[in-house]
């Protein structure tokens, strides 16, 4: 009964920046429950598989895919049940729909609407 609402996407030129936000909504999923879970950002381009972009643990340890390392930063605000993805030095190959999710629940197959990121060359 958790809702995942992504926002912040848009059209940007190569080299530009965007900051994505993910709100984990629903009173049933408490701040405490949110805070103990590893959160992740994923992306999917048309006709391609969804791939993990970045993750952040309860103690704010982070991990990044090689293709975004040094360019993207994931963070979280537990009190607001928010996860952010700061994207800098964007490349056309970053174009995709970006999704957030609770990493341990990805196998459930439930995703939000995502937010479209388009990077022009």
How are the residues of the chain apportioned to helix, strand and coil, as percentages rounded to the nearest 5?
Answer: 15, 45, 40
DSSP state of 29: S
- Cα Rg for the chain, rounded, in angstroms? 14
DSSP run (H or E) holding 87: strand 82-87
Q: Which of 80, 45, 44, 85 is nearest to 63 (CA)?
A: 85
Give Dmax over CA atoms of the chain in angstroms.
43
pLDDT per residue as tens, the chain (121 positions): 789 999 999 999 999 999 999 999 987 889 999 999 999 999 999 999 999 999 999 999 999 999 999 999 999 999 999 999 999 999 999 999 999 999 999 999 999 999 999 999 9
């Amino acid at each position: 009964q958790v809702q995942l609402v992504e926002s912040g996407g848009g059209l940007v030129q190569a080299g530009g920046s965007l900051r994505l936000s993910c709100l984990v909504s629903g009173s049933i999923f408490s701040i405490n429950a949110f805070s103990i879970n590893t959160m992740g950002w994923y992306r999917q381009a048309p006709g391609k598989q969804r791939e993990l972009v970045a993750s952040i643990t309860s103690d704010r340890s982070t991990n990044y895919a090689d293709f975004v390392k040094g360019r993207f930063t994931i963070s979280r605000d537990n009190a607001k049940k928010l996860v952010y993805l700061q994207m800098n030095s964007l490349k056309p190959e970053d174009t995709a729909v970006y999704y957030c999710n609770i990493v341990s629940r990805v196998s459930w197959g439930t995703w939000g609407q995502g937010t479209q990121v388009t990077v022009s060359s």
